[in-house]
Amino acid sequence: MQKVNSTPVSELGEFGLIEELTKGIKILNPETIFGVGDDAAVLDYQDKKILVTTDLLVEGIHFNLIYTPLKHLGYKSVVVNLSDICAMNGIPKQVTVSIAISSKFSVEALTEFYDGVKFACKKYNVDLIGGDTSSSLTGFLISVTAIGEAGENDIVYRGGAKPTDLICVSGNLGGAYMGLQLLEREKNIFTENPGVQPDLSGYDYILERQLKPEPRLDIIESLKVAGIKPTAMIDISDGLSSELIHICKNSQIGCRIYSERIPIDVTTCEMAKEFNMAAETAALNGGEDYELLFTVSIKDYEKVKSIKDVSIIGNVTDITDGLNLVSPDGNLIQITAQGWNAIK
Q: Scanning residues 64 to 103, which ones bind a copy of itself (CB under 8 A)?
A: 84-85, 87-88, 90, 94, 96, 98-101, 103
Number of residues that bind a copy of itself (CB under 8 A): 75
Question: If 0-12 CB within 10 Å is exposed, 13-18 middle and 19+ buried, where does residue 139 land?
Answer: middle
Binding segment toward a copy of itself, per CB under 8 A, in 9-17, 67-75, 111-119, 174-182: 9-17
Query: Using the rule CB under 8 A, is 247 a contact of a copy of itself?
Result: no
- Residue of 21, 29, 36, 53 that binds a copy of itself (CB under 8 A): 53
- Residue of 129, 240, 262, 283 that binds a copy of itself (CB under 8 A): 129
Integer Cα distance of 240 and 340 in angstroms: 11
Query: Using the rule CB under 8 A, is 248 a contact of a copy of itself?
Result: no
- Residue of 43, 176, 253, 255 that binds a copy of itself (CB under 8 A): 43
Q: How far is the CB of 321 from a copy of itself (least distance, A)?
A: 22
- Residue of 68, 106, 133, 281 that binds a copy of itself (CB under 8 A): 133
- Residue of 108, 132, 199, 318 that binds a copy of itself (CB under 8 A): 132
- Residue of 2, 5, 40, 201 that binds a copy of itself (CB under 8 A): 40
Interaction with a copy of itself in 137-156: which residues (CB under 8 A)?
Answer: 137-139, 141, 143, 145-148, 150, 152, 155
Q: Which long-range contacts (CB under 8 A, 24 or more apart) does 201-207 make?
A: 202/267, 203/179, 203/267, 203/271, 205/175, 205/265, 205/267, 206/175, 206/176, 206/178, 206/179, 206/182, 206/265, 206/267, 206/268, 206/271, 207/179, 207/182, 207/183
Query: Using the rule CB under 8 A, is 17 a contact of a copy of itself?
Result: yes
Of 259, 265, 168, the C-alpha closest to 209 is 265
CA distances from 121 to 124, 163, 214 (A): 5, 38, 12
- Residue of 1, 39, 227, 334 that binds a copy of itself (CB under 8 A): 39
Of 241, 240, 231, 248, the C-alpha closest to 322 is 248
31-48 burial string, b = 16+ CB within 10 Å, else e? bbeebbeeeebebeeeeb
Integer Cα distance of 82 and 79 in angstroms: 5
- Residue of 7, 20, 27, 34 that binds a copy of itself (CB under 8 A): 34
Binding segment toward a copy of itself, per CB under 8 A, in 10-18, 270-278, 310-318, 323-331: 10-18
Q: How far is the CB of 186 from a copy of itself (least distance, A)?
A: 22
Integer Cα distance of 61 and 261 in angstroms: 32
CA distances from 241 to 31, 149, 291 (A): 36, 28, 13
Q: How far is the CB of 108 from a copy of itself (least distance, A)?
A: 15
- Residue of 157, 190, 205, 258 that binds a copy of itself (CB under 8 A): 157
Q: Are 315 and 253 contacting, i.e. CB atoms less than 8 angstroms apart?
A: no
Binding segment toward a copy of itself, per CB under 8 A, in 128-136, 169-177, 201-209, 264-272: 128-136
Interaction with a copy of itself in 299-338: which residues (CB under 8 A)?
Answer: none
Of 135 and 331, CB closest to a copy of itself: 135
Say whether 309 sits in a helix, a strand or coil.
coil
